């Protein structure tokens, strides 16, 4: 047995593909083809099957069974008694041709006794609450709780790996004193649109491009969104967008790869401008919410960036990092 990692005398470790500095504690079983990185800590009473990849600096607390198809990235935390699964329709003595992969990306944390259904991706830096039942993929840096798990927020910068992404929040229009204000995310601005009060009703108006900083070629409306659903989760290479919640309220998370900000849109006199290369997420829709979005370009599927890691790399290249 190589000496660059530590194994308790009661453990049954059959794999040699284990990185330096890893510690495996009491009554842990690791099957021969499992791959485990460096500085990993696997606590007592765990089981690691064959088709498993565990990255560096991962912590797995007691009572976790890591089945075939599980992929844990670097710096992942798995709380005690977390339940992974790899077959949506299990039958005794019946095996699929291939088990579904569940991927937990770098820096994500999974709280005690959470349950993860197979075939999902837990995004970079995400936080899964204790006891959550996760039935579908979780976006990067999202916080999810409950059964079924739903997004309740996004992690603050203290919880982001390395503190690389700073996070703030803005509530509009109470904090919007000027007609246009920067929110701290590159190029993103919050706009106060004109509102006219009249005994016959209220009117809110904006002009292109004086109030809304581009001439639109397209608009779309988002409405009847269940409160647990999340929209957006993408950026654009070239397209500019301007968002107005014309009825009800919703929250928008904007991210330039270095700074993240959450903005509450609660009034038709408040607009939010998103330049290209802004990662945008909309969630916390009220039951009556209607979100109006103006776009500078016609629909082009190739203009979308749907993978957050790819988005971060593109922004780094743009900034010469």
Sheet of strand 35-36: strand arrangement: 35-36, 53-54, 70-72, 102-104, 121-122
Beta strands in 49-110 (DSSP E): 53-54, 59-60, 65-66, 70-72, 77-78, 83-84, 102-104, 109-110
Give just the sign of the alpha carbon dihedral 208, 209, 213, 219.
positive
How far is C-alpha 214 from the geometric centre of its chain's CA atoms? 29
Q: How far apart are CA 218 and CA 287, in angstroms?
A: 25
**Residue positions annotated with a catalytic role:** 234
CB 204 within 8 A of CB 191: no
Beta-bridge partner residues of 221: 292
The tokens describing 152, both together, are 């309740």
Helix (H) or strand (E) holding 311: helix 308-318
**CA-angle at 160, arms to 154 and 163, nearest 5°:** 130
């Amino acid at each position: 047995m190589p000496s660059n990692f530590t194994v308790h005398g009661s453990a049954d470790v059959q794999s040699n593909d284990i990185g330096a500095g890893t510690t495996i504690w009491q009554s842990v079983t690791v099957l021969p083809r499992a791959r485990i990185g460096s500085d990993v800590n696997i606590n007592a009473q765990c089981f690691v099957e064959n088709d498993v990849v565990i990255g560096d600096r991962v912590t797995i607390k007691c009572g976790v069974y890591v089945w075939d198809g599980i992929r844990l990235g670097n710096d992942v935390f798995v709380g005690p008694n977390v339940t992974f699964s790899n077959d949506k329709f299990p039958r005794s003595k019946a095996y699929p041709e291939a088990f579904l992969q569940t991927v937990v990306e770098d820096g994500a944390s999974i709280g005690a006794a959470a349950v993860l259904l197979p075939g999902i991706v837990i995004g970079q830096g995400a936080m899964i609450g204790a006891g959550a039942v996760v039935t579908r993929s979780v976006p990067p840096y999202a916080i999810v709780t409950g059964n079924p798990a739903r997004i309740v927020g996004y992690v603050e910068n203290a919880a982001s790996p390395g503190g690389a992404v700073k996070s703030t929040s803005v509530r509009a229009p109470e904090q919007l004193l000027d007609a246009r204000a920067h929110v701290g995310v590159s190029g993103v601005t919050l706009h106060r649109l004109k509102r006219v009060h009249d005994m016959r009703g209220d009117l809110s108006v904006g002009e292109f491009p004086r109030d809304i900083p581009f001439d639109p070629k397209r608009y779309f409306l988002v409405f009847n969104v269940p409160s647990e659903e999340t929209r957006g989760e993408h950026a654009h290479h070239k397209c500019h967008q301007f968002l107005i919640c014309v009825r009800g309220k919703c929250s928008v998370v904007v991210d330039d790869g270095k700074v993240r900000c959450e903005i509450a849109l609660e009034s038709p006199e408040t607009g939010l401008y998103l330049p290209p290369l802004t990662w945008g997420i909309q969630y916390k829709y009220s039951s009556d919410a209607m979100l109006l979005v103006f776009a500078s370009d016609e629909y082009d599927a190739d203009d979308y960036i749907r993978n957050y890691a790819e988005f971060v790399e593109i922004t780094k290249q743009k900034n010469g990092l």
